[in-house]
Amino acid sequence: MPFKINQDRTKEIAKRFDVDPKLVKNVHDMYANEIVPLLQDQYLAHLCRALEEFLRSKGESDSFTIRLKSIKRKSGFGGRIQYIKEREDKTAQYMIHYYDQIEDLQKRIIISHELGHILFAIIFKHQNDGKIDPNTIEHVEPLSSLLGFFALLDRSDFYKESSGTFTHTSFEKLLSDFSLIHNGKHKE
Ligand SMILES: [Zn+2]
């Protein structure tokens, strides 16, 4: 778990949110046991969502998605993309497969490079009416790496310079910030 909850904290939260401690425990357990494991596969999620948005604006359907999936491998460095086109529900999807045994920083390099492939494949597809296979275009490998490089440079600078803005410094501060919602200052 990325954060720690004990009985005292559960009671404190229940008091501040004005609910039964059992309810606090149930929501905590659902988040910890069912949602947190899924977070582990969400590398570069902001970048994936931004690219989806950008590529929809370039002609992909509103339901176009990019998803990631790890592949169990004992060795090897790499990944691949799979294009799932026009499934029964009419959605197009790119799936990035990456090897699960490599370090997180390396996974981000592989995934950002594969995101570059997706970006240029779609841009070229819309530019040339699908007549040219994007994978045969010269420089597609360095182009994909360049996109990945700039994306990771941007993310690295972002984490270095602005992550403090998004982090609550203590359990108590977070709890008191949520109290704003329950004190009638927030109506939705
Ligand atoms: Zn490549």
Q: How would residue 186 be classed by pLDDT, with cut points 50, 70 and 90? A: low
Domain contains 87: yes
The rounded Å distance from CA 114 to ligand 1 centre is 6
Number of domains the chain is built from: 2
Same domain membership, residue 50 and residue 36: no
Same domain membership, residue 49 and residue 33: no
What is the residue-wise DSSP string for 100-111? TTS-HHHHHHHH
Domain contains 168: no
| Helix spans in the chain (H) | 7-17, 21-30, 36-39, 45-57, 104-128, 140-162, 171-180
CA distances from 172 to 6, 9, 16, 21 (A): 14, 10, 11, 17
- Does residue 138 surpass a pLDDT of 80? no
pTM over the 0.85 mark = no
Please write the tens of the pLDDT for every residue from 165-184: 777 778 888 888 887 777 65
Tokens 């990035």 correspond to what residue?
A: 96
The rounded Å distance from CA 73 to ligand 1 centre is 19
Same domain membership, residue 113 and residue 75: yes
CA 66, 72, 76, 82 dihedral sign is negative
The rounded Å distance from CA 7 to ligand 1 centre is 49
Which domain, by its residues, includes 11? 1-40
